[in-house]
Structure 1
Amino acid sequence: MEFVAEAHVPEGSTTPSKLLLQPRGVPVPAEDYWVIYTDYVDHALVYSCSQRNEDGTCPEDRARVWFLGRAGTLSVDARHHMESLLSGLCVEVSRMQDISTGCDAELGVPTSVEAMPHAHGGMVSSTCLVNDIHTMANFDKNQYTGTWYVISHLQGDIYPYHRISHYTLDEQNSFRMLTHRITSPGECSTAWKFEGQAYNPDTSETTSKLVLKPFGMPVYGEDYWVIYTDYTDHALIYSCRETNEDGTCKAEASHAWMMSRDPTLTPAARSHMEMLLTEMCVDVSRLVDTPHECDELLGPESLIDQGRIIAPLHVFLWRNVLKVLSL
């Protein structure tokens, strides 16, 4: 049995994640379809309340929740993450019911959906023009502070073999970045340190488009664009040092950093960021993984002793994935 519906943002709404779901050919009212969370490539949490009490709360029998996954299974960590979000919705976790996936092969994917670029977690549109690249909306600098490990990078032969960066905010609401690097391959030599400032240019109204300028070095500032971050697990940074006449980025001038709060990166997070880079016309085969056997030499303990670093505001970590669940 097929069920077809359309989800749209109500007229006058400024919140694209709060949609209304209207079934086709069924005389029933549209139902809320609120996307509480998604990482787009692995799992999503959707909520609906079909009726409200006078005090604005949702009656227990009118609340609906779905744990959605791109695959037929969800990791324990992902389930725990979404269950933790339910408390903020005043939904009892014990009421969740798992859905059998034994017949998934028979269900298939409609041809009209299979043909869409985003059917398996991709993005609807892509651009090779640097000026049209979408960066992180509503970027929160406070949540971004703390320690980030470079997991994989695209910056040619000049990039060090190890890198950890630590971010604080200064009085101008700009980042102060203190970085530890080890540049000798195959050995844990003494770390080289440098400090810089990442600030928003006066001409930019987008907080996620910054310029990074190292202190004490005769170099120009480099773009530091936050393409994506969830603040607690991974982040994708992009920079183009020189464009072609048509507005695309020269291959040798295209830089990218895949970063994580830990020295490791989940396959889902890596796939997500590689997908974003592909949509930006970046060749992900050129990415180079950064080793981490020397991380103990890179801080942050020495930085804390110097009073140069603060702990991240959000020290908890979420892990991904679940099943399709419903109340």
Structure 2
Amino acid sequence: MASTPLLATLLALVSALGCCWAADCQVDSIPVMKDFDKSRFVGQWFAVAKKDPDGVFLQDNIRAKFAVKDGIMTATARGRVTIFSHWVVCADMVGTYSDTDNPAKMKLKYWGLASYLARGRDDFWVVDTDYDSYAIMYSCRERADDGTCANSYSIVFLRQLKGMTPSMQRSIRLKQESLCLAGKYHIVEHTNLCL
């Protein structure tokens, strides 16, 4: 189980603000990490807070491992998911990333290693990271006619399951606001399932 200080910090982060401070919430206006370096992003990350998209999505105990080989970034993720409204399993997902003209805005092709899991293509935008302790990513699966996102998801990752510094909390909170998702995240529990 995650430590009490971590849960308290995450609860404060998740519930800090309930409204959106961005001027227009246009997907094209969302700021991403400047000069993102995918080679520094490699290694293991733990999802600690997330805003889910519509449909089936990993629920909790989520660990992701990123690697870069020959300039291509790949990832594996494992977490608990509920299938068909009652079947709870630990699921493995795999993804490969394609570069765009902005290093922080990659295209993700993903699939589950079991046939009942989702597959598809998403944007994978690195909104912010210090590479050593935290990262926040964003994806808009479907844009509304007005240019805002009709179906998005976002994940806050930590390198280690321990409390966040006040500086990290401020950075993450500001980025959640810039995504028009402040107050929409929930904590991702880690209970040593799906190791």
Shared fold per TM-score greater than 0.5: yes
Distance in 1 (CA, whole Å) between partners of 2:135 and 2:164 is 12
Residue from 198, 207, 216 that aligns with 2:97? 198
Q: Which has the larger radius of gyration?
A: 1
Identity %: 21
User: Which secondary structure state, in structure 1, belongs to the residue aligned with residue 36 of structure 2?
Assistant: coil
Relative to structure 1, is the Cα distance of residues 127 and 135 closer, same or farther in structure 2, using a 3 angstrom cutoff?
A: farther
The residue type equivalent to 2:179 in the other structure is M
Number of the residue aligned with 1:211? 107
**1:138 equivalent in alignment to 2:38:** no
The residue type equivalent to 2:92 in the other structure is K
Within 5 Å, which residues of 2 pair with 1:47-196?
A: 126-156=23-53, 158-159=56-57, 160-171=59-70, 173-183=71-81, 191-196=90-95
Relative to structure 1, is the Cα distance of residues 148 and 242 closer, same or farther in structure 2, using a 3 angstrom cutoff?
A: same
Runs of 4 or more, structure 1, over 6 Å off, are none
Distance in 2 (CA, whole Å) between partners of 1:233 and 1:285 is 22
Q: How many residues align?
A: 163
The alpha-carbon deviation at position 138 of structure 1 amounts to 0.7
User: Which secondary structure state, in structure 2, belongs to the residue aligned with residue 183 of structure 1?
Assistant: strand
Number of the residue aligned with 1:237? 137
The alpha-carbon deviation at position 199 of structure 1 amounts to 1.8
Distance in 1 (CA, whole Å) between partners of 2:79 and 2:180 is 28
Contact 2:56/2:118, CA 8 A, preserved across alignment: no
Residue-by-residue CA offset, 1:63-115 (whole Å, 9 max, x unaligned): xxxxxxxxxxxxxxxxxxxxxxxxxxxxxxxxxxxxxxxxxxxxxxxxxxxxx
Within 5 Å, which residues of 2 pair with 1:299-318?
A: none
Distance in 2 (CA, whole Å) between partners of 1:267 and 1:158 is 32
What are the ranges of 5 or more consecutive residues in structure 1 without an aligned counterpart? 1-123, 299-327
**1:258 equivalent in alignment to 2:149:** no
Number of the residue aligned with 1:293? 191
User: Which secondary structure state, in structure 2, belongs to the residue aligned with residue 169 of structure 1?
Assistant: strand
The alpha-carbon deviation at position 139 of structure 1 amounts to 0.6
Distance in 2 (CA, whole Å) between partners of 1:218 and 1:180 is 13
What are the ranges of 5 or more consecutive residues in structure 2 without an aligned counterpart? 1-20, 83-87
Residue-by-residue CA offset, 1:259-308 (whole Å, 9 max, x unaligned): 000123415223321221212322x222110111216x42xxxxxxxxxx
Q: Which structure features the higher share of strand residues?
A: 2
More relative contact order in 1 or in 2 (CA 8 Å, sep 6+)? 2
Relative to structure 1, is the Cα distance of residues 196 and 271 closer, same or farther in structure 2, using a 3 angstrom cutoff?
A: same
Number of the residue aligned with 1:246? 146
RMSD (Å) for aligned C-alpha atoms: 2.4
User: Which secondary structure state, in structure 1, belongs to the residue aligned with residue 74 of structure 2?
Assistant: strand
Contact 2:81/2:89, CA 8 A, preserved across alignment: no
Relative to structure 1, is the Cα distance of residues 133 and 249 closer, same or farther in structure 2, using a 3 angstrom cutoff?
A: same
Contact 1:127/1:280, CA 8 A, preserved across alignment: no
